[in-house]
Amino acid sequence: MRNLLALNWKMNKTPSEARSWAAELGERYEEGNAELAVMAPFVTISTLAANLPAGVGLGAQDVSAHESGAYTGETSAAMLADVGVQYVVVGHSERRDYHGETDNVVAAKAKLVQANGLLPIVCVGEKLDVREKGQQVAYTLAQLHGSLEGVGSDVVIAYEPVWAIGTGKTATADDAEELAVAIRSALEERYGKKSSEIRVLYGGSVKPDNIASICAKPNINGALVGGASLKVADVLGMNDALKDA
């Protein structure tokens, strides 16, 4: 399975900055190693749809849990599909923490994303106190099951230990693989044979110099990258690092 590099810009880059970034990427990017996809703020999506180099995918960082109607300020999955999005991140820890998103809400969002022909990237992962108690596997699997309630197998899972997001602390490749193995076996129980087509990503302070060892693990199929997604040089560095992966 080709590695997916899902680039989570978070709340960074105006549409003008996104246009420059896409132009710089276009000058230097050669398709072939990882599959790249930018998880963009809503207002930059149309700019990126018109300016990303061929072969680079497009995603959103969130979506409404409702289909349409009186939900001021929200953006529906149908709207995202219409502007050319392929992926939607749901259940990022920043949304769970700062916006109170529960597993139920995450599952509702993932179902609407799928119903509109898009792939949800469902994020799960433990906080530091859970890891310190050695409960990371049980915690993350409970979150996974809750977030996948009623959700079909056309999905990407991102294991993101919260203590490693934006902190510079990366889980070791072995720690990431431990969870990827547990997630994969839970997916197999849930979806049977179809689970072999599901990508499991790792996220948490991934950079050009650590991505290769993480993605070399047999159950990890790419990365969800925040900080190192903002500079084209880092994105190309990560893409290069995955040359032989």
Nearer to ligand PEP, 96 or 184 (CB): 96
Tokens representing 183? 């997630």
Footprint on residues 175-204 left by ligand PEP (CB under 6 A)? 203-204
Distance of CA 224 to the CA centre of its chain: 5
Find residue 49's DSSP bridge partners: none
Catalytic residue, from 94, 126, 160, 177: name it: 160
Phi, psi of 191 (to 5 degrees): -115, -5
Nearer to ligand PEP, 187 or 227 (CB): 227
Binding mask 128-167 for ligand PEP (x = CB under 6 A): --------------------------------x----xx-
Binding residue for ligand PEP, selected from 22, 25, 183, 225, defined by CB under 6 A: 225
Asked if 222 interacts with ligand PEP (CB under 6 A), we say no
Nearest to 125 by CA among 115, 139, 113, 114: 139
Instruction: Report the residue number, 191 or 241, with the smaller CB distance to ligand PEP.
Output: 241
Contact 61, 41 (CB under 8 A): yes
Distance, in Å, from the CA atom of 191 to the CA atom of 172, rounded to the nearest integer, reads: 28
Residue among 227, 234, 238, 242 that touches ligand PEP (CB under 6 A): 227
* Beta partners for residue 7, in sequence order: 38, 225
Position of minimal CB gap to ligand PEP: 226
Angle ∠(162,166,170) on CA atoms, nearest 5? 70
**CB-CB contact of 182 with 189 (8 Å):** no
Min dist. Cβ of residue 46 to ligand PEP (A)? 22
Could you tell me how many residues of this chain bind ligand PEP (CB under 6 A)? 14
The upper half-sphere exposure of residue 190, i.e. CA atoms within 13 Å in the direction of its Cβ, equals: 23
Q: Minimum CB separation from ligand PEP for residue 61, in Å?
A: 9
Whether residue 160 lies in the annotated active site: yes
Active site residue 92: yes
Report, as residue numbers or ranges, the catalytic residues.
92, 160
Q: Which residues would be at the binding site for ligand PEP (CB under 6 A)? A: 8, 10, 160, 165-166, 203-206, 224-228
